[in-house]
Structure 1
Amino acid sequence: MLLALSAIVVALLVLLLHRARVPIRHRWRRRQARTMALQLSGKDRLQPPQLLYARLRAMDPLAFEELLLECFERRGHGVVRGRRYTGDGGIDGQVMIEGEIWLIQAKRYADAIRPEHVAAFEALCRAKGRRGLFIHTGRTGPQSRVMTAGSDRVAIVSGRTLLSLVTGGPMPDLTAPQLLRSPKYPNRRQI
């Protein structure tokens, strides 16, 4: 009896210590991301794409990062979250896909993405020796398309692929040597 009670107390202490390692603001954003992931993978996945984009753009930017990581976790990928949101060096998270660690950069845009953000993320991926996913809610403009056309480091996730990620739909194989190519820009890798 005393041994069982001791085991329960130790388990509770471990749980409390683990929760104490995650700051309150992070817990709030993770909870918001889990709620949104449940909604978007449930009946809300049938909403028009414009409404889904509007909901993603209206999210807290840091909760949007957590949402993407949550969606990768739900697909069975290992996820590494940063210990802090600011000063993260441009890496919003990491995800393990087919044994390879991919860096994540999450941006909520209402208009076209900024090519300098894509260039900075590609430089970061090269410096870290990793591949990266630039995930955004905006429009991928011609400059950004040209910038990633020859890149073997960065893939852009937006549009239908982003909606598939957050609604639990099918995703293209990110590890395939030939990712989907845009017919308008045949040298551009777009997923």
Structure 2
Amino acid sequence: MDMQATTASCLNGLDLDKMAQTVNALSHEPMLARFQFRARNQWMGGGENRSTIKDFYGAGAEDTSRTEPFVFTNGEPPVLLGNNEGANPVEFLLHALAGCVTTTTVLHAAARGIRVASISTELRGDIDLQGLLALDDTVPAGYQGIVVTMEIEADCSEAELDALLQFSQQHSPVCNTVCRPVPVTLVRAPRRPQA
């Protein structure tokens, strides 16, 4: 990440001194850049389940800064046999993608000295449920395509903005995960002994 000199110590809501310290630390000790994020999920019934997210490993240690977990309810709309208990998992994927692309853009804009006035995104994902329901083996079970339309106001040229967005797409962890094959292993935990 190229840190350009700037007179402001804060840009786009980010502390530039802390950003420079973080980049410097990670460039000198690459092992500090290794993180492991975790989520736990419990089925509630029907199409409803809840995920809790609290602990993670990063910067060389277990993080203990979160005192309470974040709780997210996954549900389904009635047309998909649910009761609108919450957004469904493929909608949460769009939420995660939007959040990550936005944060990555803001971070790298600050690193380039670009002041962002506003960002809003609209995401559309096309999916054919024949894949999920195993009605047609030629249809993928997941999204067939996702379009992210970003409206951004920033103090830079159109060419700089295009370069920033292309860079952000390539370096957003969620976008990168979705855009390349990532091994996912589904394993069954051992059964608990019956009481």
TM-score range, shorter chain: under 0.3
Larger radius of gyration: 2
The TM-score with structure 1 as length reference comes to 0.24
